[in-house]
């Protein structure tokens, strides 16, 4: 049994149940394999002011410090944060704040074998600091903006260069992210691609699809857009495409700061009556919506390996997506959908029109998705853990 300490700043908690759900999903699949045991340390920022412009930091104060789920012990140590000033030392602050918590975990539940750090910066760097402190191997998973945004900054890149020499390796969820790390001078020998998987039982086509559509109020050709209501997701582009698709309806699932602005855009374009807005849903309900929809549109400006694409395909629904991150590694056959090169409402409109005209075989899409499950991912991750532990043991004996 491999004992793993997952270190990440993004993990579901009592106040933010959807935060880092993809981290928890992979971890839970690993646990179900029976070959690994997890503990989680997920630091949260602490800032003394929690009113006015800083009220967004209030929620962290209400996050439980420590709790145990059915299979995982989770701790949320606080680390000091100075907005706009402390980002360059956040790895150090996160690591220092976590030492006491990790020591407590070790004394109460025993030692661990390897640190599984999620996100390169600042989490991965902090994970390497902790690995040196506790003399444990560290694997760092790169997921998207941690590499493509955070590691482009000069100080953060210096931290990365320091960590490269001291970690056991990097895991990327796409070939595109591997390429990004190579461009940051991370040796290829230290990078392994281990994409996300999809739960093929949880996300599946439903036999009576028309009953589900009727229950959800879907009428006519229905486009689905799932994701936070933030600029990176490009919901406004999908809204704009509706102008040229008068027979289509759009269902947007998500929450975020741009909700008011997006609704204003929809009203200005006279398409508001054909848009349904839905807050976050759990996986079971999401599966219903994927199955009922005719197509999923993801108009993001950047991505790692988006789970929404895998989930939609598993439910038999094709995807139209922009060619960013690792998207092209999945949307690369007709059964999966259409990859658009130009990130514009017109490009989305043309892609939707193409699918309407050509039709979709939902069984073929599901069959393609069956090759995107978790089994291969779990085995690859287990092998990486074993290798990192063996290498460290060998080095310490030399």
Domain annotation for the chain: domains and CATH numbers: 2-197+374-397 (3.40.50.2000), 209-372 (3.40.50.2000)
Q: What is the pLDDT of residue 71?
A: 83
Q: Which of 126, 321, 82 has its CA nearest to residue 224?
A: 321
Question: Averaged over 193-218, what is the pLDDT?
Answer: 92
Beta partners for residue 250, in sequence order = 223, 275
CB count in 10 Å sphere of residue 285: 13
Is residue 391's pLDDT more than 80? no
Side by side, the strands of the sheet bearing 66-68 are 66-68, 73-75, 36-41, 2-7, 114-118, 138-142, 169-172, 191-193
In which element (H, E) is residue 224 found? strand 221-226
Q: Which of 121, 122, 113 has its CA nearest to residue 168?
A: 113
Q: What is the pLDDT of residue 232?
A: 92
Portion of the chain with pLDDT greater than 70, in percent: 96
Q: What is the pLDDT of residue 105?
A: 94
Question: Averaged over 132-161, what is the pLDDT?
Answer: 91
Instruction: Report in angstroms the alpha-carbon separations of 151 from 95, 119, 148, 195.
Output: 18, 11, 6, 20
* Three-class DSSP category at 168: coil
Contact 301, 232 (CB under 8 A): yes
The DSSP output letter for 18 is T
Contact 355, 206 (CB under 8 A): no
> How far does CA 158 lie from the centroid of its chain?
25
In which element (H, E) is residue 334 found? none
In the predicted model, what is the mean pLDDT of the chain? 91
pTM for the predicted model, two decimal places: 0.88
- What angle do helix axes 283-292 and 209-216 make, rounded to 10 degrees? 110
* Three-class DSSP category at 6: strand
Q: What is the pLDDT of residue 146?
A: 86
In this prediction, residue 314 has a pLDDT band, given cuts at 50, 70 and 90, of: very high
């Amino acid at each position: 049994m491999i004992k793993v300490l997952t270190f990440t700043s993004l993990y579901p908690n009592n106040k933010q149940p959807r935060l880092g759900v993809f981290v928890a999903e992979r971890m839970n699949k690993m646990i179900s394999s029976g070959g690994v045991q997890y503990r989680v340390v997920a630091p949260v920022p602490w800032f003394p002011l929690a009113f006015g412009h800083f009220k967004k930091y209030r929620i962290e104060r209400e996050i439980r410090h420590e709790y145990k789920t059915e299979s995982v012990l989770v701790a949320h140590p606080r680390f000091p944060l100075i907005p706009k000033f402390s980002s360059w030392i956040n790895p150090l602050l996160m690591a220092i704040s976590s030492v006491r918590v990790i020591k407590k975990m070790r004394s109460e539940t025993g030692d661990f074998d390897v640190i599984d750090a999620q996100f390169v910066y600042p989490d991965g760097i902090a994970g390497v600091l902790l690995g040196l402190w506790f003399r444990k191997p560290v694997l760092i998973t790169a997921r998207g903006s941690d590499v493509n945004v955070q590691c482009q900054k000069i100080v953060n890149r210096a931290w990365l260069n320091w960590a490269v020499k001291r970690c056991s390796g990097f895991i990327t969820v796409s070939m595109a992210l591997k390429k990004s790390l190579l461009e940051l001078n991370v040796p290829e020998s230290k990078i392994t691609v281990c994409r996300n998987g999809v739960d093929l039982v949880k996300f599946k086509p439903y036999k009576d699809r028309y009953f589900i559509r009727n229950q959800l109020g879907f009428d006519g050709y229905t486009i689905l857009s799932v994701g936070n209501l933030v600029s990176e997701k490009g919901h406004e582009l999908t809204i704009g495409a509706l102008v040229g698709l008068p027979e289509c309806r759009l269902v947007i699932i998500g929450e975020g700061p741009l909700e008011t602005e997006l609704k204003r855009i929809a009203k200005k374009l006279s398409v508001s009556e054909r848009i349904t807005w839905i807050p976050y849903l759990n996986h079971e309900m999401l599966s219903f919506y994927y199955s009922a929809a005719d197509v999923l549109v993801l108009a993001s400006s950047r991505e790692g390996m988006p789970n929404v694409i895998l989930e939609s395909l598993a439910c038999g629904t094709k995807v139209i997506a922009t060619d960013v991150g690792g998207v092209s590694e999945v949307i690369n056959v007709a059964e999966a959908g259409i990859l658009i090169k130009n990130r514009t409402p017109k490009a989305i409109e043309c892609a939707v029109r193409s699918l309407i005209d050509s039709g979709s075989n939902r069984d073929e899409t599901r069959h393609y998705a069956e090759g995107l499950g978790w089994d291969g991912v779990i085995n690859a991750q287990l092998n990486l853990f074993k290798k990192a532990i063996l290498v460290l043991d060998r080095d310490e004996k030399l």
